[in-house]
Amino acid sequence: MRKRFNVTGSCNPDRHYMVDTEKRFKAVEALIDHGDYFTINRARQYGKTTMLNMIWRRLSDKYLVVPLSFEGLGDEAFASSEAFVATFKRQMARNITSRRLNEALINIWQNSDASSIEGLSLVITDFCKACPSPVVVTIDEVDKSSDNQLFMNFLGMLRNKYLERDREGLNSTFHSVVLAGVYDIKNLKLKLRSDEEKKYNSPWNIAADFNVDMTFHPEEIAQMLGDYENDAHTGMDIKAISEEIYKFTHGYPFLVSYICKMIDEQFDQEWTSDSIVKAVKILVQGGSTLMDDLSKNLENNPDFREFMYSISVNSATYSFTLLNPMVNLGNMFSYIRNKDGRAVIHNLVFEEALFLYFSTDYTIKNNEKLSPFQLNYVQNGRLNMEHVVTRFRDLMHEEYRNSTEPFLEKEGRLVFLSFLKPIINGTGFYYVEPQTRDNRRMDLVVTYGQQEFIIELKIWRGEKYEENGRDQLSSYLATRGMDEGYLVTFDFSKNKQDVDPQWIEWNGKRIFEVIV
């Protein structure tokens, strides 16, 4: 049976097409060999469980690797120290029983009457000293219980045993403990008090930093596609397709595998740029756990929602510093990344998803204003962008120029995105060119079938800045080998410009200029 691309659960190289994980695994193995305790804290569906399973498969010859998971334990497991200790002992006994170890080792867990964290500590010491191999414990989905004080006490106990092992002996506790979860256990902010006061807890401050790069780079995607091509013989351009997938995903593992799976299983193995865009459009419409989480994380945290709105729709510029709670949160979820010291949207898939989320929300609230203008933009399968931006100007003039409701400067781009989305929906795609993101301008790349358009959105700051906008747009058109572009300028000044849309020649390029 041929391998498949996998987007659910752990990946297995015997059954799934995978990138070469050897370099990543060797870095993890070095931490374990050194006896480190650490957390693999990465965003959802980023390869954490796959790495834990690799540890179990490949290191069980020199360590007793015990894989545990806190997923699905339920609140009852944390109702009391007795319940937690009993649950932990059962998980340990179940795992080591399956290894057919010495009966005496199994009995240490099965016959123990320990019911407190302190008692559990003694059991761990007895077991590790009796075990012929160093013990490595991995715990998956650890942050599912990270808001519980009992769990904090458990980590505190492991920390103390780690600190004491030089005196008590290296075999007095687990050789290495590997936790896996989205949240960084070293810097948990917990709500533990009845008055909802929040405090920081650091029971895991002995953990080594986990700096392993788990993103998929173009050459790694190409290697995976090469393995696939050896089986499928599709004739794809492996290098071009791998670079295109990376362009949209920036190597986010789940997104890479999802696109590949869609093309292989649903798009008749048509490995083209159009198929990649089709897969992305299906992905951002929701249904996957990753996209569901994106929506929930925005809905459940108004401050974070506003932060992501400002950085995506309004191209706000923030320094990338994990000392800022919102930047730290966005980085933890991998919605943003560090680019030359600035916080930017992690990849084009998330950018499209965020645009869709915010523009749909705006459209629902302003449907009557937008819907009459969503007509006759496509003729004979071709999008008339001149008509699109002209009608957008008409919309703004008719609905907002004489409106008693204030039109906020920050809404301009969102209104345009909300206006454009239903026009190109199903066929087109748009994204912001990263290097043009700032508060003054935004270059929007719009594709529709085989057509491509460049639209610069900017705010009126005077005639000189308008000329600068033309210079910037014409220069950007030159870098993409295009002759025509569109300049949409939002004029929020008291003396608004009333200039009809027009084509102008500028630096050898044709620019259709609209002032709203």
Query: Would 142 be classed as within a structural domain?
Result: yes
Indicate whether 165 and 275 sit together in one domain. Answer: no
Indicate whether 196 and 235 sit together in one domain. Answer: no
Residue pair 356/421 in contact by the 8 Å Cβ criterion: yes
Torsion of CA 226, 230, 231, 237, to 10 degrees: 60
At residue 191, the pLDDT reads 38
Query: Would 351 be classed as within a structural domain?
Result: no
Indicate whether 196 and 234 sit together in one domain. Answer: no
Query: Would 507 be classed as within a structural domain?
Result: yes
**Per-residue pLDDT averaged across 60-73, rounded?**
89
Strands 64-69 and 135-140, by their bridges, are parallel
Indicate whether 384 and 509 sit together in one domain. Answer: yes
Query: Would 194 be classed as within a structural domain?
Result: yes
The percent of residues above 70 in pLDDT, for the chain, comes to 90
pLDDT tens digits, one per residue of 427-445: 888 888 766 565 567 789 9
Among 252, 268, 284, the domain-final residue is 284
pLDDT tens digits, one per residue of 355-411: 889 988 888 877 666 554 556 898 888 999 999 999 999 888 776 665 555 555 567
Instruction: Report the domain count for the chain.
Output: 3
Indicate whether 175 and 260 sit together in one domain. Answer: no
Indicate whether 388 and 445 sit together in one domain. Answer: yes
Among 284, 310, 331, the domain-final residue is 284
pLDDT tens digits, one per residue of 141-176: 887 665 677 888 899 999 999 999 989 999 999 999
Indicate whether 499 and 374 sit together in one domain. Answer: yes
How many helices, marked H, and strands, marked E, lie in the chain? 18, 16
The DSSP call for residue 40 is: E
Q: How far apart are CA 405 and CA 33, in angstroms?
A: 65
Largest CA distance in the chain: 88
At residue 194, the pLDDT reads 41
Indicate whether 171 and 235 sit together in one domain. Answer: no
Query: Would 295 be classed as within a structural domain?
Result: no
Given a cut of 70, whether residue 57 has pLDDT beyond it is yes
Indicate whether 139 and 182 sit together in one domain. Answer: yes
At residue 256, the pLDDT reads 98
CATH number at residue 177: 3.30.370.10
Indicate whether 123 and 40 sit together in one domain. Answer: yes
Entry pTM: 0.85
Indicate whether 374 and 516 sit together in one domain. Answer: yes
Return all residues near 46 (Cβ < 8 A) that are at least 6 apart.
214, 252, 253, 254, 334
Domain of residue 447 covers 366-516
| Dihedral sign, Cα of residue 146, residue 148, residue 152, residue 153 | negative
At residue 368, the pLDDT reads 63
Write the secondary structure of 150-205 as one string of H (helix), E (strand) and C (coil): HHHHHHHHHHHHHHHHHHHCHHHCCCEEEEEECCCHHHEEEECCCCCCEEEECCCC
Indicate whether 278 and 395 sit together in one domain. Answer: no
- Which single residue is written with the structure tokens 């179990």? 56
